[in-house]
Structure 1
């Protein structure tokens, strides 16, 4: 089977979100003076593996439930197109889930002793959180009652890319839960939910026909764009409020705030212009890279 089919199923353009989440957690740990480079590398690998597993599950689940019908517009999905069989994808799901578990356990083996939190309770908690992430990734569109078909995807993204991804990865560096990090964690989670909303706005027609009632499908395209703008505004405000809490010099903070404003306004401009599924689809990788780019800028500035 050609490797290009597996690369298409892995949807590499979504991987910047996985990296942004754990890199943001690493940034917060760095500002607290407890950064661990090995934890960052393992966190990135684990998050990327989870994202690929989720994309495989989405390809598999949407094909089974009919969301990837000929009505669907956007990149070709491998199972629905017959490039990868359901049986082969099930094997790939099992293999990628195993990889997620191995990477996650390796991450915990490195992080928990280093932060002197390697108690049985800590291991159990993190194993349960890891299992929850794998289950949530699979049941988003696969299984008997996928929650993505009733509009639960946006909340799941906020939970796993924002709160768990950012706060959890920061904890693995520092050994403590910092409630002051809720602002950037929530902001990043909302920005990641915008990527899902772009995907769902593009697929409104085929999703509705298949009984997949995402928030975008429930709202319709015009109101889904207003919802998208609200997510952007709320997240940008949270970033704006968090920046003065950093140790960065005032001129640099002001530059970051200007950059943040330009980033938000340019995305709104492009969203307003996007009237076709092709234009919405192009915004997906653009905004994913913008999120990762913002986190990278923060790394250099903070």
Structure 2
């Protein structure tokens, strides 16, 4: 076991996706003149800890349940390959649960002071996020194996991530902010969909009934186009409802990146899709940055 093994298990390439929803909430808050760096940085640290927790729990759970096997086409996982033991991974999961809680509690007190109603509500959301991160692949009935991962991603990487962080800044939220939250959610599901398309054969063999396993690669590629178009359309509708200058459509510069990935997902065999996981996550972050710049310029 080495530092490199743990860095690999953290799967740092997934962090741009985790930061996208926080970035979107921060940009929306800045547009409402409510941005604060202390809240933003604590949001970032909490989200990073939660994403790494999810990755470690996924590594552990997929190995225990057989989804990470010799037939898997993606990068080797730490527990599956033996560089980190099950006991060590359980300990790491526990550590990151504690880090999530400590960072999250600090965030709530910085944002709300001693408003206990708000603190308890958001603490509950935080605990649900931790449970969702672990229960995706861990336990007797992990919901990821039932094909419910897409719904969880939409909720936590979209609605909760964006609207929750926005509320931490502004102490208010309206239905309009749900539109860019849906954009982040749809693009985040796109990352999961590419992952599940890549692993479609090993997941099927392990009894992991992801969306691609249920509907097949061809329809999963069509589903990916729905996610891309849906994400961009939600941002367009939000911009039209809040239109002031043409610069607000700056986010459309990211559209070719998503289109390129969509074409690749449609044409390439599953075993060649791994590079597009990182590209989809980075494209989502680029979209958020352009969206935010369009709001603020």
TM band (smaller chain): over 0.9
1:26 paired residue number: 26
Q: Equivalent residue of 1:75, what SS?
A: coil
Point out where structure 2 has 5 or more consecutive residues left out of the alignment: none
Aligned to 1:13: 13
Tell me, yes or no, if the aligned pair for 1:68 and 1:206 is still in contact at 8 Å. Answer: yes
User: Please, which runs of 5 or more residues in structure 1 have no aligned partner?
Assistant: none
Normalising by structure 2, what TM-score?
A: 0.96
- Residue from 277, 280, 289 that aligns with 1:287: 280
Structure 2 residue matching 1:80: 3-state secondary structure: helix
TM, length-normalised to structure 1 = 0.94
Match in the other structure for 1:220:
216
Give runs of aligned pairs for residues 84-95 of structure 1, distance below 5 A.
84-95=84-95
Alignment deviations for residues 131-176 of structure 1 (CA, whole Å, 9 cap, x no partner): 0000010000001110000001000000000000000000000011
Q: Could you say what the CA RMSD is over the residues aligned between the two structures, in angstroms?
A: 1.3
Pick the aligned partner of 1:211 from 200, 203, 207: 207
Tell me the CA shift for residue 260 of structure 1: 4.4
- Counterpart CA distance in 2 for 1:246 and 1:48 is 31
Distance 1:247 1:135 in 2: 39
Paired residues of 1:148 and 1:214 also in contact (CA < 8 A): yes
2-structure distance, mates of 1:9, 1:76? 9
Rounded Cα–Cα distance in structure 2 between residues aligned with 1:245 and 1:30:
18
Correspondence for 2:165: 169
3-state DSSP of counterpart to 2:72:
coil
Query: How many equivalent residue pairs?
Result: 295
Q: What does 1:119-130 align with in structure 2 at a 5 Å threshold?
A: 119-130=115-126
Asked if the contact 1:201–1:221 (Cα under 8 Å) also holds between the matched residues in 2, the reply is: yes
Decide whether the 8 Å contact of 2:129 with 2:156 is kept in 1.
Answer: yes
SS of residue matched to 2:79: coil
From 160, 175, 190, give the equivalent of 1:179: 175
Partner deviation per Cα, 1:24-65 (whole Å, 9 max, x = no partner): 011111111111111111101100100000000000000100
8 Å Cα contact 1:248/1:301 also seen in 2: no
Task: Specify the alignment match of 1:192 in structure 2.
Answer: 188
Matched, 1:68 2:68: yes
Contact 1:54–1:138 under 8 Å retained in 2: yes
Q: Is the 8 A contact 1:190 1:231 kept in 2?
A: yes
Conserved in 1, the CA contact under 8 Å of 2:251 and 2:287? no
**Structure 1 ranges of 4+ moved more than 4 A:** none
Q: Distance in 1 between matches of 2:285 and 2:244?
A: 20
Which of 247, 269, 283 is matched with 1:275 structurally? 269
